[in-house]
Amino acid sequence: MMTEVLFKVIIIGDPTVGKTSFVQKYVNDSFRRDYKMTIGVDFALKVIKWSEKCNIKLQLWDIAGQERFTSMTRVYYKDAHACLVMFDLTQKGTFQNSVKWKKDLDQKCTLMDGSPVPCLLLANKCDDIERREVTQDEIEDMCKEHDFLGWSETSVKDGIMIEESMGFLIEEMMAKHAELEGFSESFQTNTSSALKLGKEDGVKPSGSNCQC
Instruction: Confirm if 59 and 80 have CB atoms less than 8 A apart.
Output: no
Residue 15 lies in a domain: yes
pLDDT recorded at residue 185: 46
Q: How many domains, the chain?
A: 1
pLDDT at residue 183, as a whole number: 54
Pairing of strands 41-51, 54-63: antiparallel
Q: What is the CATH number of the domain that holds 194?
A: 3.40.50.300
pLDDT for the residue numbered 64: 83
Residue range(s) defining the domain that contains residue 168? 3-205
Q: How far apart are CA 22 and CA 24, in angstroms?
A: 6
212: in domain: no
Domain annotation covers residue 113: yes
Contacts of 38 (CB under 8 A, 6+ apart): 19, 20, 62, 63, 64, 65
Q: Is 120 helix (H, G, I), strand (E, B) or coil?
A: strand
In a domain, 43, yes or no: yes
Which of 35, 164, 13 lies closest to 89, judged by CA? 13
At residue 195, the pLDDT reads: 32
Spatial CA neighbour of 123 closest among 145, 146, 90: 90
Distance CA 146, CA 169 (A): 17
Alpha helices in the chain (DSSP H): 19-28, 73-77, 92-108, 136-145, 162-181, 194-201
Count other Cβ atoms within 10 Å, centred on residue 138. Answer: 14
For residue 137, being part of any structural domain is answered with yes
Task: Say if strands 204-205 and 150-153 run parallel, antiparallel, or are unpaired.
Answer: antiparallel
Are 8 and 62 in contact by the 8 Å Cβ rule? The answer is no
β-strands 3-12, 54-63 pairing: parallel
Whether 155 is in a domain gets the answer yes
CB-CB contact of 153 with 160 (8 Å): yes
pLDDT of the residue at 169:
95
Taking the model in full, what pTM does it have? 0.84
Taking only the tens of pLDDT, the chain with its 212 residues reads 788 999 999 999 999 999 999 999 999 988 766 556 565 688 899 999 988 889 999 999 999 866 555 666 788 999 999 999 999 999 999 999 999 999 999 999 999 999 999 999 999 999 999 999 999 999 999 999 999 999 999 999 999 999 999 999 999 999 988 887 765 443 444 333 333 333 345 577 665 433 33
Residue 13 domain-assigned?
yes
Is 211 within a domain?
A: no
